[in-house]
Structure 1
Amino acid sequence: MPIIKSSTDLRNSYNDISTFCHNTNEPIFITKNGRGDLAVMSIDLYNKLTSKYELYRLLEQSEDDFSNGHTLSFEESMKHLREKLNNGTV
């Protein structure tokens, strides 16, 4: 169940809201004039969510590459990896 607080609560109870977000790894939804306005979360949760988003984006890109025939053989892949290792780019 989402936790919903007003913008006034955010202003007056920042420390409590911050502690909740850090302890639960859950966001708190902030309303302004009775309407949804913000989602407040810890930096750790934000980083976790953005990391997942980036992974999903890369997986989607990989699926598109595979569907469009943009693939390499195992030997070609290993050659590219060895070149990167030798150049220090990995």
Structure 2
Amino acid sequence: MPSIRPSSDLRNKYNEISKFCHEHSEPVYITKNGEGDLAVMSIETYERLVGKFELYQLLDQGMEAEKQNKVKPFRDVVTDIQKGLSE
């Protein structure tokens, strides 16, 4: 269940929000005048989320390269690397 808090809690109960974010590894949603305004999360959770986005982007690029026949079999790549190292 997401944690939804008013913006005043960000100022008045910062330590409580910080502790929740670190213990549960999920964001706290902050409202302003009853409307969603911010999502607050720990640095660890943020970095993990950004890492997933970067991975998805790389996977998407790989799938696009495969569609355009711009890929090589793994064994060919390893052979090319080995040749480059021996030169």
Q: Tell me the TM-score range normalised by the shorter chain.
A: 0.7 to 0.9
Structure 1 residue 75, shift from structure 2 partner: 5.1
Q: Secondary structure of the residue that 2:26 maps to in structure 1?
A: coil
Structure 2 CA distance for aligned equivalents of residues 17 and 84 of structure 1: 53
Instruction: Compute the TM-score of the two structures, normalised by the length of structure 2.
Output: 0.87
Local SS of the residue matching 1:22:
helix
Counterpart residue number, 2:19: 19
Q: How many residues align?
A: 86
Structure 1 residue 79 displacement after superposition: 4.7
Note the C-alpha offset of 1:72.
1.9
What secondary structure, in the 3-state scheme, does the structure 1 residue paired with 2:23 have? helix
**Residue 85 (structure 1) shift:** 6.1
In 2, Cα distance between the equivalents of 1:34 and 1:83? 63
- The alignment-based identity, stated in percent, is 48
Shift in Å, 1:21: 0.3
Could you tell me which residue of structure 2 aligns to residue 57 of structure 1?
57
Unaligned runs of 5+ in 1: none
TM-score by structure 1 length? Answer: 0.84
CA distance in 1, matches of 2:25, 2:84: 38
In the TM superposition, what is the alpha-carbon distance from 1:42 to its structure 2 partner? 0.3
